[in-house]
Amino acid sequence: DIQMTQSPSSVSASVGDRVTITCRASQAISTWLAWYQQKPGKAPKVLIYAASSLQSGVPSRFSGSGSGTDFTLTISSLQPEDFATYYCQQANSFPLTFGGGTKVEIK
């Protein structure tokens, strides 16, 4: 199985900050990677798929990059509604696997 490792597990940031979350796969997955945002008590919402493609309706302050084993989600200017937990997920092969999550908290 492909293991997904996210870092950091949590980050404290202020509105307007640039936030970067990294995700590493235990083996190469090309660009078969998605990023999700989850708020408390809600279902996850896809932000990025194919490593860098922005899902329709998602603000352009979210961006993704990377290929192979190393990936990054960047929020260019953190907004109040962005405080949430973010998960990466490999879509390369079954079983599909998620990273452990990164909680973005208010500083």
**Binding interface with other proteins (CB under 8 A):** 1, 32, 34, 36, 38, 42-46, 49, 55, 87, 89-101
Report the C-alpha gap between 60 and 62 in whole angstroms: 5
d(CA 58, CA 11): 21
Those residues whose C-beta lies under 8 Å from the C-beta of residue 81, and which sit 6 or more positions away, are none
DSSP 47-96: EEETTTEEPTT--TTEEEEEETTEEEEEESS--GGG-SEEEEEE-SSSSP
CB nearer other proteins, residue 83 or residue 98: 98
Nearer to other proteins, 17 or 24 (CB): 24
- Closest CB 106 distance from other proteins, rounded Å: 20
Q: Residue 45 or 61: which CB sits closer to other proteins?
A: 45
Nearest CB to other proteins, comparing residues 19 and 97? 97
User: Least distance (Å) from other proteins to the CB of residue 15?
Assistant: 26
Min CB(102)–other proteins separation in Å: 10
